[in-house]
């Protein structure tokens, strides 16, 4: 019996279609810049919001009607949810999904029971993957919801919390490997602090570095070859999270000798919470060779927290795709909808509308970005803007051959700098609009 009876396989119908349950832009097999849209975008559905979101907020309980969910913590309920998940993902035509250990399987009364529950559900996930061809983009361990992690996990003042988290990551790595997961994510929800009066920051960061090394070592031991990713976020739930933004993460990874093992999973609403655009975060990670994957969503300009809305803004998705294409596209990563429907959108069909819209908005952004790149107006402008560096002097400075003395000699001879050229921001913003 289908859980979304009113939905059949979502089809591409083209830009003229008014059918809300069809794609206007996402045409999986269509080739853009030499690669299919399916392979460029690598869409992924998240288990936590989509299968486990209830619509609760700090002011009231859940609102979502989910006829398949009996509200219990039972394995039967969790197994039924796997059927629901795969029906939805298959109807959407998304090739991937992602989960936390505790989204898919109930937490038991002991670590041993939680491990057993997780293994039981993983067996069903594997069967469903084999039956549908849907693949696991990434797994991650939830080390932030349970009260035992109130002070953090790897950065807790309580050594047992560190050990518990280590045990959870060990199991989650095993399951992610078993399911062919292409990445493994760490999002440090409580790896930060509320107040420095009670915090040994140096010791916490040292422990976080150790923790990641333990994971890297164990992955090597069991032959897990997926890409490790850190997901930056500056705050919420803590006042300050150590993985605040791309630059902070990369500095941490470099300081603790972890750079060869990690890339970043960048999330739009996390970028904006950090006071950056998503374009900035993508470019920063990209030029360091660390653009791994994205959590696709959007915040709300008028709200200062992580609202995790589905992306519907073509400016945003075009900017994302411009940066992703600039840095060579995804290898192990994808466009993972870490997004949730609003509390008022309480019916199962709202999940379908949300994903169809998000996928279409990204597909359209991909096509617009490819058109902008094909004409080359923006890249040519940037190239010309920096052309004074394409000189013998530029070569000397960029390769380290110049010295303060040589530059002083050059400037004494020249007297004044060559005239500046306009940044032409307004013209470039207008050019961008030509392609929308
Ligand atoms: C929280 C968030 C997480 C991570 C996975 O803001 O984005 O759901 O994506 O732990
Ligand atoms: Co996320």
DSSP bridge pairs for 139? 99, 184
Give me the mean pLDDT over the 205-234 stretch. 98
Nearest atom in ligand 1 to the alpha carbon of residue 295 is 9
Number of the ligand 1 atom closest to the C-alpha atom of 189: 1
Antiparallel, parallel or unpaired: β 35-36 and 43-46: unpaired
**What's the rounded Cα separation, in Å, for the pair 267 and 282?**
9
DSSP 6-38: T----EE--TT---TTEESS--TT-EETTEEHH
Q: Return phi, psi of residue 35, to 5°.
A: -140, 150
pLDDT of residue 262: 98
- Long-range contacts: 67-76, Cβ < 8 Å, 24+? 67/3, 67/348, 68/3, 73/106, 73/107, 74/106, 75/105, 75/106, 75/117, 75/120, 75/121
Question: Are 78 and 106 spatial neighbours (Cβ–Cβ below 8 Å)?
Answer: yes
Q: How far is the CA of 301 from the centre of ligand 2 (A)?
A: 19
Question: How would residue 279 be classed by pLDDT, with cut points 50, 70 and 90?
Answer: very high
Please report the atom of ligand 1 found closest to the CA of residue 270: 6
Give 419: exposed, middle or buried? Use CB within 10 Å, 0-12, 13-18, 19+: exposed
CA of 328 to the centre of ligand 1 (A): 25
* Marked catalytic residue, from 100, 207, 270, 355: 100
Task: Measure the CA–CA gap between 201 and 395, rounded to whole angstroms.
Answer: 42
For the chain, domain boundaries:
26-375, 391-434
At 77, the pLDDT band (50, 70, 90 cuts) reads very high
Mean pLDDT of 356-370: 98
Q: Is the pTM of this model over 0.95?
A: yes
DSSP string for 198-230? G--HHHHHHHHHHHHHHHHHHHHHHT--SEEEE
Can 100 be counted among the known catalytic residues?
yes
Could you give phi then psi for residue 413, rounded to 5 degrees? -70, -40
Helix (H, G, I), strand (E, B) or coil at 96: strand
First to last CA, the chain: 42
Reported CATH class of domain 26-375: alpha beta
In the predicted model, is pLDDT for residue 6 greater than 80? yes
How many Å lie between the centroid of ligand 2 and the Cα of residue 158?
A: 26
DSSP 197: G
- CA 293–ligand 2 middle distance (angstroms): 10
pLDDT in tens, 22-55: 999 999 999 999 999 999 999 999 999 999 999 9
**Tokens 């004409």 correspond to what residue?**
375
| Ligand found nearest the CA of 186 | 1
Listed residue (300, 239, 306) closest to 267, CA to CA: 306
Active site annotation includes 76: no
| Residue among 44, 186, 244, 338 to mutate when testing ligand 1 (max atoms within 8 A of CB) | 338
Ligand 1 neighbours by CB, cut-off 6 Å: 48, 100, 140, 185, 187, 231, 233, 267, 295, 306, 338
Q: How confident is the model at residue 1 (pLDDT cuts 50, 70, 90)?
A: confident
Distance from Cα 187 to the centre of ligand 1, integer Å:
6
For 415-421, what is the mean pLDDT? 96
Residue 187 CA, closest ligand 1 atom number? 10
Cα–Cα dist 272/234, whole Å: 9
* DSSP-derived 3-state class of residue 2: coil
pLDDT of residue 101: 98
pLDDT confidence tier of residue 143, bands split at 50, 70 and 90: very high
Catalytic residue of the set 40, 101, 103, 276: 103
Over residues 415-436, the mean pLDDT reads 97
Quote the CA–CA distance of 47 and 84 in Å, as a whole number: 11
Percentage of residues in the chain having pLDDT higher than 90: 100
Coarse DSSP helix, strand, coil percentages of the chain, rounded to the nearest 5 percent: 50, 10, 40
């Amino acid at each position: 019996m289908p859980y979304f009876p009113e939905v059949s396989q979502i089809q591409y119908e083209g830009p003229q279609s008014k059918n809300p349950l069809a794609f206007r832009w996402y045409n999986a097999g269509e080739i853009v810049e030499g690669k299919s849209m399916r392979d460029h975008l690598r869409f992924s559905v998240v288990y936590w919001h989509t299968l486990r979101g209830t619509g609760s907020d700090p002011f009231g309980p859940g609102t979502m009607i989910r006829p398949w969910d009996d509200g219990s913590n039972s394995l039967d309920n969790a197994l039924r949810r796997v059927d629901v998940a795969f029906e939805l993902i298959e109807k959407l035509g998304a090739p991937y999904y992602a989960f936390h250990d505790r989204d898919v399987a109930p937490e038991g009364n002991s670590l041993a029971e939680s491990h057993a529950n997780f293994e039981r559900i993983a067996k069903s996930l594997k069967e469903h993957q084999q039956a549908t061809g849907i693949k696991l983009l990434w797994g991650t361990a939830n080390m932030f919801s349970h009260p035992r992690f109130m002070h953090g996990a790897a950065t807790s003042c309580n050594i047992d919390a560190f050990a518990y988290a280590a045990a959870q990551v060990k199991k989650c790595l095993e399951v992610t490997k078993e399911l062919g997961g292409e990445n493994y994510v760490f999002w440090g929800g409580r790896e930060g602090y509320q107040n420095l009066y009670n915090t040994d920051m140096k010791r916490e960061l040292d422990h976080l570095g150790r923790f990641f090394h333990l994971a890297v070592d164990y992955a090597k031991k069991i032959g897990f070859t997926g890409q490790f990713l850190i997901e930056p976020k500056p705050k919420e739930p803590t006042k300050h999270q150590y993985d605040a933004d791309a630059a902070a993460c990369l500095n941490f990874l470099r300081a603790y000798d972890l750079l060869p093992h990690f890339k970043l999973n960048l999330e739009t609403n996390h970028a904006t919470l950090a006071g950056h655009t998503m374009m900035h975060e993508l470019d920063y990670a990209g030029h360091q060779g660390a653009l791994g994957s994205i959590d696709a969503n959007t915040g709300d300009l008028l709200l200062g927290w992580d609202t995790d809305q589905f992306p519907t803004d073509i400016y945003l998705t075009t900017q994302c795709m411009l940066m992703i294409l600039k840095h060579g596209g995804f290898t192990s990563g994808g466009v993972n909808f870490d997004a949730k429907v609003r509390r008022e959108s309480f019916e199962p069909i709202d999940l379908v509308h949300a994903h169809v819209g998000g996928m279409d908005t990204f597909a359209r952004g991909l096509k617009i970005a490819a058109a902008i790149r094909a004409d080359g107006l923006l890249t040519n402008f940037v190239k010309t803007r920096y052309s004074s560096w394409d000189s013998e002097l530029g070569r000397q400075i960029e390769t380290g051959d110049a010295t303060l003395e040589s530059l002083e000699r050059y400037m004494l001879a020249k007297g004044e700098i060559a005239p500046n050229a306009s940044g032409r921001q307004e013209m470039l913003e207008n050019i961008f609009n030509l392609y929308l």
